[in-house]
Structure 1
Amino acid sequence: MGEQLTIGELASRTGVAASALRYWEELGLLPAPARVSGQRRYPPSAVGLVGVVVLLRDVGFTLREIKAFIASRSPTGEGWRELYQRKLAELDQRIAQAQVARTAIAHGFACPHKDIFECSNFANGVAAILAGCSLEEAHSQVHSH
């Protein structure tokens, strides 16, 4: 049967809590391991699979997306590309939103008023948001005058 790892050993080798490993198993991210006297026993290859889950989580994939990624493995090896393409588009959108937010905050930080609630630009930005504008539209409106 070769070297088998307990859940504690797998947790130690990967830096992932045993409770998270059990949860990932429950979600189907990790295959159900063999059992010896009721205790989980993982093959050494489980270390690499946990590493894949951690990497994908750290770059922004949700656990649901990671499950789809793992399930997308096929003989042609192309299933993951669509998932990566969608995640890149999502990240590009989030980066653009973060850049708009950063610009708005930097302008607010540079406001000469002691109390930002006294700033007409701030008040106009709030009004634009309440009127249904996106942050980017509100910021453009405030600074186009």
Structure 2
Amino acid sequence: MSEQLTIGELANRTGVATSALRYWETLGLLPPPARASGQRRYPPSAVGLVGVVLLLRDAGFTLREVKAFLAARTAAGDDWRELYQRKLAELDQRIAQAQAARTAVAHGLACPHEDIFECPNFAGGVSALLAGCSLEEAHARVHAH
């Protein structure tokens, strides 16, 4: 039998807390490990699987999406590609929102008014947001003059 890892050893090798590993197990991200004297025993391949979960999580996937990805990789077809395409579109949207937020903050810093609440552009942006505009739309409205 190959080397088996306790949950503590898996945690040490991956930097993931044992509580998170147990949680991921209940979610189905990690297969149920073998037991020896009641203790979890993971195969060495579990280190790589935890690494995949970490990579996908750090790339913006939710744990639910990670589970879907792991299931899709074992199914026939390219279902995982659809998951990646949806995540890419979501990330593009988040990047656009972050860029709009950065522009708004940079304009706020460059505002010549001593008190930003006295700035007509700031007030116009607030009004546009309250009217249902996105930050990007509000910014475009204010600076369309």
**Bucket of the pairwise TM-score, normalised by the shorter protein:** over 0.9
Name 2:89's counterpart in structure 1: 89
Name 1:132's counterpart in structure 2: 132
Q: Does 1:7 align with 2:37?
A: no
Per-residue displacement from partner, 1:37-72 (whole Å, max 9, x unpaired)? 110000001001000000000110000000000011
Give me the whole-angstrom Cα distance separating, in 1, the residues matched to 2:107 and 2:123.
13
Q: What is the letter of the counterpart of residue 6 of structure 2?
A: T
Greater Cα offset, 18-27 or 71-80: 71-80
Residue aligned with 2:73, SS: coil
Give me the whole-angstrom Cα distance separating, in 2, the residues matched to 1:111 and 1:8.
54
Q: CA deviation at 1:79?
A: 2.0
Give me the whole-angstrom Cα distance separating, in 1, the residues matched to 2:117 and 2:7.
54
Residue aligned with 1:73, SS: helix
Q: Matches of residues 1-145 of structure 1 in structure 2 within 5 Å?
A: 1-74=1-74, 76=76, 78-145=78-145
Residue aligned with 1:109, SS: helix
Q: TM-score, normalised by structure 2?
A: 0.96
Give me the whole-angstrom Cα distance separating, in 2, the residues matched to 1:141 and 1:107.
14
Greater Cα offset, 68-77 or 32-41: 68-77
CA RMSD of aligned residues (A): 1.1
Give me the whole-angstrom Cα distance separating, in 2, the residues matched to 1:41 and 1:34.
5
- Between the aligned residues of both structures, percent identity stands at 81
Q: What is the letter of the counterpart of residue 18 of structure 2?
A: A
**Residues 1:74 and 1:40: Cα distance change in structure 2 (over 3 Å):** closer
Per-residue displacement from partner, 1:77-120 (whole Å, max 9, x unpaired)? 52211110110000011111111111111111100111111111
Give me the whole-angstrom Cα distance separating, in 1, the residues matched to 2:70 and 2:128.
43
Residue aligned with 1:40, SS: strand
Give me the whole-angstrom Cα distance separating, in 2, the residues matched to 1:107 and 1:72.
44
